[in-house]
């Protein structure tokens, strides 16, 4: 674990893998809940967790440098199920990358349990991990100027769902009607770091 | 609608509602947002007797024109500009009484970029995650003002540490930004770090609420390949592939994949909000505290 100082009151904690980042994130949330860590933001990402707005950075730095991070706790809590129509315009390309027939993409994707590794890009956009490495696909060479809201997409090790229409370079394999972000709802984000997710195949409409 | 409202007669180039923003939601991909020149926003609130976190209007270069439906006290600050009520000049940086139905004109900034208009009672649009700020990156909060829009106003409270006049810093002729290096300065070549902290840059016209973009010598990478996405802080200086540093302002993305060579001190960011395109920028390295 490598702890880097960022600006005046933040630390970036770097670990070796996405799994370690998720475990560290869970541990830091636990410490904040019990009151031993005071931070305004705890932001997990691919290989790091950012602690921003630290009340006492020097103390956090010394505690983290000596910290043992237990493995992520057992995946407690409900699984969020997202109904999907596997009808995305890039389904054929993804099938070709994977070397399987198109219906097999839906079967593999809907048969995987995902976990939200981190969020970013847009409110409610989660970077979901869970697909084995042989199913990772590169981004499109040319991003689309508008990806429709609800698009289920793949890029690198991640699956994501666009909460609203935006430009994007991920490969689109399907569509969901689930509302990923609603600021009038509590919580506003359907997916937050650590949430377990399953996609449920609703056919190709 | 009650008469506690404000009609937008001329929205200006970009006028948004801003308060102290919505920190605490970065893990959901929600930018902090909030007034770019936070001290100026807090000051105009004090001038009209609002608490410092009340929502104000943030204008961009060419001001705006407003018609309150009831008598209000307003104050205009931030970038210096002419102020008029029904065509008569009114003071800038001081409380101004605007009768019901009168036209308040906030003119083009004579220097600086962002003006702040506080109205007694505050702009009372519906908060989103505890803030009324417009967030241009993610679209949270009210949309930028349009001509003909009507904004609700809150009830004026008990005057709150009210001041009548107050000094405000002049917009910068040269922007000096103190930076602590890291966390990814090692992704830049050693001579690039020296270039960054010794050569002159200029504010690029492509700057906005998301980032202060700069023109100047390109910074070369020491490492190729992609940096996995990581959390970003306010004031982070990202080095995109073109090598021109970008300083992250209030609407910055919460995670990003370009290396951060350094982070600008928070105290220096209000001046960055007022630096016009072409303003010289110097990044000065300071030690971590």
Residue with tokens 């847009």: A122
Judging contacts by C-beta atoms under 8 Å, the chain B residues touching residue A164 are: 139
A156 CB-near residues (< 8 Å, 6+ apart): A136, A137, A138, A139
Domain check: are B267 and B198 in the same one?
yes
Neighbours of B36 (CB within 10 A): 26
Q: Could you tell me the CA-to-CA distances from A23 to A15, A72, A77, B26, B176 in Å, in that order?
A: 10, 4, 16, 18, 40
Judging contacts by C-beta atoms under 8 Å, the chain A residues touching residue B26 are: 41, 43, 50, 52
- Structural domain contains residue B94: yes
CB contact (8 A) between residue A123 and residue B228: no
The mean pLDDT of A75-97, rounded to a whole number, is 92
Among candidate residues B124, B1, B4, B110, the one with its CA nearest the CA of residue B57:
B124
Domain boundary among B96, B121, B152: B152
CB contact (8 A) between residue B265 and residue A12: no
Going residue by residue through chain B, which has 289 residues, state the pLDDT in tens, using 9 for 90 and above: 568 999 999 999 999 999 999 999 999 999 999 999 999 999 999 999 999 999 999 999 999 999 999 999 999 999 999 999 999 999 999 999 999 999 999 999 999 999 999 999 999 999 999 999 999 999 999 999 999 999 999 999 776 566 777 788 899 999 999 999 999 999 999 999 999 999 999 999 999 999 999 999 999 999 988 899 999 999 999 999 999 999 999 999 999 999 999 999 999 999 999 999 999 999 999 998 7
Domain check: are B113 and B216 in the same one?
no
CB contact (8 A) between residue B129 and residue A47: no
pLDDT (0 to 100) of residue A68: 83
pLDDT (0 to 100) of residue B224: 84
The count of C-alpha atoms lying within 13 angstroms of the C-alpha of B233, restricted to the half-sphere facing its C-beta, is 33
**What is the domain count for chain B?**
2
Residue of A nearest to B136 (CA): A122
Residue of B24, B29, B135, B261 to mutate when probing chain A, most A C-beta within 10 A? B29
Domain check: are B180 and B147 in the same one?
no
Judging contacts by C-beta atoms under 8 Å, the chain B residues touching residue A127 are: 229
- A167 inside 8 A of chain B by CB: no
Q: Is the peptide bond before B101 cis (omega within 30 degrees of 0)?
A: no
Strand partners of residue B76 = B117
The mean pLDDT of A151-156, rounded to a whole number, is 96
Domain boundary among B152, B186, B204: B152
The closest CB to that of A45, out of B30, B229, B266, belongs to B229
Domain check: are B141 and B184 in the same one?
no
- A39 inside 8 A of chain B by CB: no
CA angle A66–B234–B227, rounded 5-degree value: 65
Domain check: are B89 and B140 in the same one?
yes
CA-based torsion, A92, A98, A103, A105: positive or negative: negative
Q: How far apart are CA A112 and CA A129, in angstroms?
A: 10
- Structural domain contains residue B169: no
pLDDT (0 to 100) of residue A203: 76
pTM: 0.94
B58: tokens are 């943030």
Q: Say if residue B210 is exposed, middle or buried (CB neighbours under 10 Å; 0-12, 13-18, 19+).
A: middle
> Residue A75 — pLDDT band, cuts 50, 70, 90?
low
Query: Distance between the two ends of chain A, CA-based, in angstroms?
Result: 47
Chain B interface with A: residues with Cβ < 8 Å: 23-30, 128-129, 138-140, 180, 182-183, 228-236, 253-256, 260, 263-266, 288-289
Judging contacts by C-beta atoms under 8 Å, the chain B residues touching residue A168 are: none
| Numbered ranges of CATH 3.30.1360.40 in chain A | 2-65
- Structural domain contains residue B167: no
Domain check: are B135 and B257 in the same one?
no
pLDDT (0 to 100) of residue B108: 98
Residue with tokens 């919505």: B22
ipTM > 0.95 (yes/no) = no
Each as own residue / partner, the long-range contacts of residues A128-135 (CB below 8 Å, 24 or more positions apart, any chain) are A128/A158, A128/A159, A128/A160, A128/A191, A128/A197, A129/A18, A129/A157, A129/A158, A129/A159, A130/A159, A131/A157, A131/A159, A133/A157, A134/A98, A135/A98, A135/A108
**CATH architecture, domain A2-65:** 2-Layer Sandwich (3.30)
- Structural domain contains residue B256: yes
CA angle A108–A24–A30, rounded 5-degree value: 110
Neighbours of A200 (CB within 10 A): 10
- Structural domain contains residue B192: yes
Domain check: are B204 and B92 in the same one?
no
Q: How far apart are CA B118 and CA B16, in angstroms?
A: 12
Domain check: are B120 and B190 in the same one?
no
Query: How many angstroms away from the CA of A161 is the closest CA of chain B?
Result: 13
Domain check: are B211 and B260 in the same one?
yes
pLDDT (0 to 100) of residue B160: 58
B25 CB-near residues (< 8 Å, 6+ apart): A123, B129
- Structural domain contains residue B162: no
The closest CB to that of B183, out of A6, A41, A189, belongs to A6
Residue of A13, A120, A128, A160 to mutate when probing chain B, most B C-beta within 10 A? A120
Return left, alpha or beta for A163; rule: phi > 0 is left, psi -120 to 50 is alpha, else beta.
alpha
Domain check: are B128 and B261 in the same one?
no
Q: What is the CATH number of the domain that holds B238?
A: 2.40.100.10
B261: tokens are 């060579």
Q: How far apart are CA B24 and CA A204, in angstroms?
A: 39
pLDDT (0 to 100) of residue B159: 66
pLDDT (0 to 100) of residue A43: 97
Domain check: are B184 and B106 in the same one?
no
The mean pLDDT of A167-181, rounded to a whole number, is 95
The answer to whether residues A178 and A82 touch, using CB atoms and an 8 Å cutoff, is yes
Query: How many angstroms away from the CA of B61 is the closest CA of chain A?
Result: 28
For residue A205, pLDDT over 60 is answered with no
- Structural domain contains residue B157: no
- Structural domain contains residue B59: yes
CB contact (8 A) between residue A183 and residue B260: no
Among candidate residues B18, B35, B16, the one with its CA nearest the CA of residue B234:
B35
Domain that holds residue B200: 175-286
Residue of B nearest to A43 (CA): B27
Judging contacts by C-beta atoms under 8 Å, the chain B residues touching residue A41 are: 23-24, 26-27, 231
Helix (H, G, I), strand (E, B) or coil at A175: strand
Residue with tokens 């001081």: B94
Q: How far apart are CA B140 and CA B205, in angstroms?
A: 24
Query: How many angstroms away from the CA of B262 is the closest CA of chain A?
Result: 7
- A48 inside 8 A of chain B by CB: yes
Domain A80-201: give its CATH code: 2.40.100.10
The closest CB to that of B28, out of A5, A164, A189, belongs to A189
Domain check: are B17 and B148 in the same one?
yes
Q: How far apart are CA B68 and CA B101, in angstroms?
A: 6
């Amino acid at each position: 674990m490598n702890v880097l100082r960022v600006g005046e009151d933040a630390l970036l904690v770097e670990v070796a893998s996405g799994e370690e980042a998720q475990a560290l994130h869970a541990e830091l949330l636990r410490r904040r809940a019990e009151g031993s860590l005071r931070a305004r933001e705890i932001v997990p990402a691919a290989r790091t967790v950012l602690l921003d707005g630290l009340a006492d950075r020097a103390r956090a730095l010394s505690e983290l440098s000596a910290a043992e991070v237990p493995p992520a706790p057992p995946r407690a809590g409900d699984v969020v199920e997202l109904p999907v129509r596997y009808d995305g315009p890039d389904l054929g390309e993804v099938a070709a990358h994977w070397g399987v027939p198109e219906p097999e993409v839906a079967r593999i994707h809907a048969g995987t349990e995902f976990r939200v590794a981190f969020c970013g890009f847009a409110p409610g956009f989660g970077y979901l991990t869970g697909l084995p490495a042989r199913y990772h696909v590169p981004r499109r060479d040319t991003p689309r100027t508008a990806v429709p809201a609800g698009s289920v997409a793949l890029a690198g090790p991640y699956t994501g769902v666009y909460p609203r229409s935006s430009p994007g370079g991920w490969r689109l394999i399907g569509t969901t009607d689930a509302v990923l972000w609603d600021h009038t709802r509590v919580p506003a984000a359907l997916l937050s770091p650590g949430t377990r997710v399953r996609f449920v195949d609703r056919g190709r409409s | 609608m009650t008469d506690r409202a404000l009609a937008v007669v001329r929205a200006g180039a970009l006028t948004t509602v801003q308060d102290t923003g919505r920190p605490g939601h970065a893990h959901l991909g929600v930018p902090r947002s909030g007034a770019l020149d936070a001290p100026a926003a807090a000051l105009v609130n004090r001038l009209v007797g609002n608490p410092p976190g009340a929502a104000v209007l943030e204008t961009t270069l060419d001001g705006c024109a407003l018609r309150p439906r009831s008598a209000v006290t307003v104050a205009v600050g931030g970038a210096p500009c002419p102020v008029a009520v029904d065509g008569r000049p009114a003071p800038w940086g001081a409380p101004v009484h605007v009768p019901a139905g009168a036209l308040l004109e906030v003119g083009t900034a004579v220097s600086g970029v962002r003006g702040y208009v506080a109205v007694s009672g505050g702009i009372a649009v519906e908060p989103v995650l505890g803030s009324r700020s417009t967030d241009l990156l993610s679209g949270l909060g009210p949309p930028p003002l349009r001509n003909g829009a009507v904004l609700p106003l809150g009830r004026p409270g008990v005057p709150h540490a009210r001041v009548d006049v107050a000094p405000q810093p002049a917009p910068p002729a040269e922007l000096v930004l103190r930076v602590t290096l890291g966390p990814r300065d090692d992704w830049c070549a050693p001579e690039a770090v020296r270039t960054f902290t010794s050569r002159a840059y200029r504010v690029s016209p492509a700057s906005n609420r998301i980032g202060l973009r700069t023109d100047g010598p390109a910074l070369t990478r020491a490492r190729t390949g992609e940096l996995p996405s990581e959390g970003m802080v306010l004031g982070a200086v990202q080095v995109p592939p073109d090598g021109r540093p970008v300083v992250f302002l209030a609407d910055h993305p919460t995670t990003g994949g370009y290396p951060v060579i350094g982070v600008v001190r928070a105290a220096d960011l209000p001046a960055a909000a007022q630096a016009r395109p072409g303003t010289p920028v110097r990044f000065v390295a300071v030690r971590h505290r």
